[in-house]
Amino acid sequence: MLGNTYDNQTCSIARTLELIGERWTILIIRDAFLGVRRFDEFQRSLGVARNVLQGRLERLVENGILERVRYQERPERFEYRLTEKGLDLWPVVVSLLSWGDRHAAPEGPPVLLEHRGCGGRVNDRRICETCGALLGPRDVKARLGVAPRGPHEPVQPALASR
Amino acid sequence: MLGNTYDNQTCSIARTLELIGERWTILIIRDAFLGVRRFDEFQRSLGVARNVLQGRLERLVENGILERVRYQERPERFEYRLTEKGLDLWPVVVSLLSWGDRHAAPEGPPVLLEHRGCGGRVNDRRICETCGALLGPRDVKARLGVAPRGPHEPVQPALASR
B159 within some domain? no
Residues of chain A contacting B5 with CB distance shorter than 8 Å = 23, 48
Residues A67, A118 share a domain: no
Nearest-Cα residue of chain A relative to residue B12 = A100
Give the mean model confidence (pLDDT) for residues B132-161: 66
- A70, A30: one domain: yes
∠ at Cα B146 (B145, B147), nearest 5°?
105
- One-letter amino acid at B22 equals E
Measured between beta carbons, which residues in chain B are less than 8 angstroms from residue A126? Answer: 125
Query: Tens digits of per-residue pLDDT, A109-121?
Result: 999 999 998 999 9
**pLDDT for the residue numbered B145:** 84
Say if residue B5's pLDDT is above 70. no
Tell whether A80 and A128 lie within a shared domain: no
- The answer to whether A96 contacts B93, with C-beta atoms less than 8 Å apart, is no
Q: Domain of B23: which CATH number?
A: 1.10.10.10
A130 and A117 co-located in one domain: yes
**Is B137 domain-assigned?**
yes
Q: What is the pLDDT of residue A1?
A: 38
Which residue does chain A place closest to B11, by CA atoms?
Answer: A110
Each residue of A11-39: pLDDT tens digit?
A: 999 999 999 998 899 999 999 999 999 99
pLDDT band (50, 70, 90) for residue B146: confident
Cross-chain residue pair B99–A92, CB shorter than 8 Å: yes
Nearest CA in chain B to A147: B10
Region B24-37 average pLDDT: 96
B99/A91 CB distance under 8 A: yes
A152 domain-assigned: no
Q: Is the pLDDT of residue B63 over 90?
A: yes
For B80-108, what is the mean pLDDT?
Answer: 96
CA within 13 Å, CB half, A55: 9
Residue with the bigger pLDDT between B155 and A74: it is A74
Does some domain include residue A156? no
A37 and A10 together in one domain: yes
pLDDT of residue B157: 33
CB nearest B95 (choices: A48, A91, A127): A91
What is the average pLDDT score of chain A? 87
Which chain A residues contact residue B148 at CB under 8 A?
Answer: 10
Of B19, B92, B148, the CB nearest to A104: B19
The confidence score (pLDDT) of residue B1 equals: 37
Q: How far is CA B111 from CA A46, B28, B34, B84, B159, in A?
A: 35, 16, 11, 24, 9
Pair (A65, A109) in one structural domain: no
Give the closest of A16, A98, A110 to B100, CB-based: A16
pLDDT given at position A89: 97
- As a residue count, chain B comes to 162
The reported pTM is 0.87
Find, among B85, B124, B66, B24, the residue nearest to A100 by Cα.
B85
- pLDDT given at position B156: 35
Domain boundary among A45, A71, A86: A86
- pLDDT at A152 (0 to 100): 40
Shared-domain flag, residues A115 and A60: no
Confidence of residue B151 (pLDDT cuts 50, 70, 90): very low
Answer whether residue B153 is part of any domain: no
| Number of neighbours of residue A148 by Cβ within 10 angstroms | 14
Same domain, A63 and A120: no
**Number of domains present in the structure of chain B:** 2
Domain encompassing residue A105? 89-144
Residues A35 and A95 in one domain: no
| Whether residue B113 sits in one domain with residue B80 | no
From the list A12, A23, A126, the residue facing B100 with the nearest CB is A12
> Which residues lie closer than 8 Å to A141 by C-beta, 6 or more apart?
A113, A114, A116, A161, A162
**Segments in chain A below pLDDT 50:** 1-4, 149-162
Q: Residue A145 has what pLDDT?
A: 84
Q: Based on the fold, state whether residues B10 and B45 are members of the same structural domain.
A: yes
Q: Is residue A139 part of a domain?
A: yes
How many C-beta neighbours within 10 Å does residue B88 have? 19
In angstroms, the first-to-last Cα distance of chain B is 32
What is the model's pLDDT at position B148? 53
Domain termination site, one of B52, B70, B86: B86
Contacts of A91 in chain B (CB under 8 A): 91, 95, 98-99, 124-125
Mean pLDDT, chain B, rounded, equals 87
Q: What is the DSSP string of chain B?
A: --GGGGTT---HHHHHHHHH-STTHHHHHHHHHTT--SHHHHHHHH---HHHHHHHHHHHHHTTSEEEEEEETTTTEEEEEE-HHHHTTHHHHHHHHHHHHHHS-TT--SEEEEETTT-PBB-TTSBBTTT--B--GGGEEEEE-SPP--TTSPPPPTT-B-
Does the pLDDT value for residue B150 go beyond 60?
A: no
From the list B18, B4, B13, B103, the residue with the least C-alpha distance to B65 is B18
ipTM of the complex: 0.87
- Indicate if A80 and A106 belong to the same structural domain: no
Q: Quick check: is B22 in a domain?
A: yes
CA A88, CA B52: separation in Å to the nearest integer? 32
Residue B151 lies in a domain: no
